[in-house]
C-alpha cells in the first residue's frame, strides 16, 4: 500500500530556503486495514525489564487519524518525542503568542498511556518562525527572546517532560566546527551554556541534552562535540546528556558506536539514541530488511551494553509516517513497522536484543 503523495509531508524550496508543510502523513483510510498485532512482549515492557526506555517520535496529526499508528505507539513505546510540534515554529508562531494545542495533545496521550515524554527541541536552525529568523535582532534582544522561549516552554511542561533536547545540531553537517546558525552568529558560542542554564532554572529536574547527528562513531564532529561537552561540564554548565540521533543507512552503524558512547558516559553524561531509523534504497527486498534488522539489533544491544545509555527512540512508528522518503528521495522503509503498521524483521530483532 502506498501513501498518497498528497498526504505526505511536503517540502517546498523557495529562494533557497526550505519551507516545511507538515501534512498528516497517513491517510485515515489505512486504519481500516486488518490491524496487525505483533507477537510477544511489547518493546516498552521488554525495555523496562532491562532498565532502558524504548520510545518513538510521535505526530499528533497522524495520531488523530490512524488507529493502527495509535495502537502501536501506545502499546509498544514507553516514551514519546514530539517529532515536530515542540519546535519553535509550532510553539511560538508569532512573537509572544504560544500555541500549545498540538504539543498538549501529545503530552496528554503520553500521560494517558503511562509514557515518558522527551521534549524536542528548543534551539535549532530549522523550523523556526519567520519573525524570529528575519527579525534582525541584536544580541541583547535575541538573548532575551531565547531565554523567554525556553523558560515559558519548560515551565509549562515541568514534571511532564523528563528530558529536553535543548540544543539541536549545533555543529556543521560535517567536520568539527560549530554551525553558524542565528544563535552562534548573534550571541557567540556562549548561547549553548546560556540556553542550558536557562532551561535548568526553569525545570531543575529535566535532563538537558545536546542532540546531534553524524556523531555516532568517532570522527571530527564527535570529537568536537566531546570537547564541547567537556568544557561545558568543566564550567559547571547543567548538561546531562548527549542525544545520538542515529539516522543510519542500512549497514551503516559504526563499529565504534559503543566505544564512542562510553567516552561521553565517562564524562558523567548519559546518552540516548534519540532518532533511530535505518534507511534502505528502494525498493527494499528481503535481504535488505534482514540487514536492517541486524542494524536495529546492534543499536539496541549497544545501548544495553553501555551503562549510562538510557534508551532508544525510533524516529516514527511505521514506514508510512517516516520522514525519510520525503527528505531522501529513493530511500525509505526505515522503521520497524511497515506501511500498514505490521511488524518487520527489525521489530523482532529489537525484541530479541531486549531478551524477548
Ligand atoms: C524531521 C521531522 O521528522 C520531519 O517531519 C520534519 O519535516 C523535519 O524534521 N533531525 C532532527 C529532527 O532533529 O527534528 C528531524 O525531524 C530529523 C532530523
Structure confidence by residue, pLDDT tens digits, 254-297: 999 999 999 999 999 999 999 999 999 999 999 999 999 999 99
Q: Can you tell me which atom of ligand 1 is nearest the CA of 87?
A: 14
- Cα 356 to middle of ligand 1, angstroms: 30
Q: What are the phi and psi torsion angles at 271 (to 5°)?
A: -130, 150
Mean of pLDDT over the chain: 92
Straight-line distance from the first to the last Cα atom of the chain, in angstroms, rounded to the nearest whole number = 29
Residue 7 has pLDDT above 80, yes or no: no
In this predicted structure, what is the pLDDT of residue 39? 86
To test the pocket of ligand 1, the residue of 84, 165, 214, 334 to mutate (highest count of ligand atoms within 8 Å of its CB) is: 84
Q: 5: pLDDT confidence band, cut at 50, 70 and 90?
A: very low
For the CA of 11, the closest atom of ligand 1 is 7
Domain ranges of the chain: 5-18+38-353
What residues are annotated to the active site?
A: 169, 275
Pocket test for ligand 1, best of 23, 90, 318, 327 (most atoms within 8 A of CB): 327
Question: Computed from CA positions of residues 94, 97, 200, 44, in that sequence, does the dihedral angle turn out positive or negative?
Answer: negative
> Predicted confidence band at 356 (pLDDT cuts at 50, 70, 90)?
confident
Statement: residue 3 has pLDDT above 80: no
Give distance in angstroms: CA of 236 to centre of ligand 1: 30
Q: Model-level pTM greater than 0.95?
A: no
Q: What is the position in ligand 1's atom list of the atom closest to the CA of 322?
A: 3
Distance 335 CA to ligand 1 centre (A): 14
Any residues with CB less than 8 A from the CB of 188 and at least 6 apart, and which? none
| 49-91: pLDDT as tens digits | 999 999 999 999 999 999 999 999 999 999 999 999 999 999 9
If we measure between CA atoms, which residue out of 342, 343, 345, 348 comes closest to residue 33?
342
> Among residues 103, 108, 120, 113, which one has the least CA distance to residue 71?
113
- Which residue, by CA, sits nearest to atom 5 of ligand 1? 323
Q: Which CATH superfamily is domain 5-18+38-353 in?
A: Glycosidases (3.20.20.80)
The set of cell numbers assigned to 314 is 525510533
Rounded to 10°, the helix 220-234/191-202 angle is 60
Ligand 1 atom with minimal separation from the 315 CA: 3
CA distance 130 to 132: 5
pLDDT score recorded for residue 149 = 98
Is the pLDDT at 32 greater than 50? The verdict is no
Confidence of residue 36 (pLDDT cuts 50, 70, 90): low
pLDDT at site 159: 97
pLDDT at residue 37 in the model: 74
Q: What residue spans of 203-323 are helical by DSSP H?
A: 220-234, 257-265, 286-305
pLDDT reported for residue 38: 86
313 C-beta closer than 6 A to ligand 1: no
pLDDT (average), residues 193-206: 98
Mean pLDDT, range 310-325, rounded to an integer? 98
Distance from the alpha carbon of residue 84 to the mean position of ligand 1, in angstroms: 7
Question: Using one digit for the tens of pLDDT, what is the confidence trace for 237-260?
Answer: 999 999 999 999 999 999 999 999
Average pLDDT over residues 145-154: 98
Amino acid at each position: 500500500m502506498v501513501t498518497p503523495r498528497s498526504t505526505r509531508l511536503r517540502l517546498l524550496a523557495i529562494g533557497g530556503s526550505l519551507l516545511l508543510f507538515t501534512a498528516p502523513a497517513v491517510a485515515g483510510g489505512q486504519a481500516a486495514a486488518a490491524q496487525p498485532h505483533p507477537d510477544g512482549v511489547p518493546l516498552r515492557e521488554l525495555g523496562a525489564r532491562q532498565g532502558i526506555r524504548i520510545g518513538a517520535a510521535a505526530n499528533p496529526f497522524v495520531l488523530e487519524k490512524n488507529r493502527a499508528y495509535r495502537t502501536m505507539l501506545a502499546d509498544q513505546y514507553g516514551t514519546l518525542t514530539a517529532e515536530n510540534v515542540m519546535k519553535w515554529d509550532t510553539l511560538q508562531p508569532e512573537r509572544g503568542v504560544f500555541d500549545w494545542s498540538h504539543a498538549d495533545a501529545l503530552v496528554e496521550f503520553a500521560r494517558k498511556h503511562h509514557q515518558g515524554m522527551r521534549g524536542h527541541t528548543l534551539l535549532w536552525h530549522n523550523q523556526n518562525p519567520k519573525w524570529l529568523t528575519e527579525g534582525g535582532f541584536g544580541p541583547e534582544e535575541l538573548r532575551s527572546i531565547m531565554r523567554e522561549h525556553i523558560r515559558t516552554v519548560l515551565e509549562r511542561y515541568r514534571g511532564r517532560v523528563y528530558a529536553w533536547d535543548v540544543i539541536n545540531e549545533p555543529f556543521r553537517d560535517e567536520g568539527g566546527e560549530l554551525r553558524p546558525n542565528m544563535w552562534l552568529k548573534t550571541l557567540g558560542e556562549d548561547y549553548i551554556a546560556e540556553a542550558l542554564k536557562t532551561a535548568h532554572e526553569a525545570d531543575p529536574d529535566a535532563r538537558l541534552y545536546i542532540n546531534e547527528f553524524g556523531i555516532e562513531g568517532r570522527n571530527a564532529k564527535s570529537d568536537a562535540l566531546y570537547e564541547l561537552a567537556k568544557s561545558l561540564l568543566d564550567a559547571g554548565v547543567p548538561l546531562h546528556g548527549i542525544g545520538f540521533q542515529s539516522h543510519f543507512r542500512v549497514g551503516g552503524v559504526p563499529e565504534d558506536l559503543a566505544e564512542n558512547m562510553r567516552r561521553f558516559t565517562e564524562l558523567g553524561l548519559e546518552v540516548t539514541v534519540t532518532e533511530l531509523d535505518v534507511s534502505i534504497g528502494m525498493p527494499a527486498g528481503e535481504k535488505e530488511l534482514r540487514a536492517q534488522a541486524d542494524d536495529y539489533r546492534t543499536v539496541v544491544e549497544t545501548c544495553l551494553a553501555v551503562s549510562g545509555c538510557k534508551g532508544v527512540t525510533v524516529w516514527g512508528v511505521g514506514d508510512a509516517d517516516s520522514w525519510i522518503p520525503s527528505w531522501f528521495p529513493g530511500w525509505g522503509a526505515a522503521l520497524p513497522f511497515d506501511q500498514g503498521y505490521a511488524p518487520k524483521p527489525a521489530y523482532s530483532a529489537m525484541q530479541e536484543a531486549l531478551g524477548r
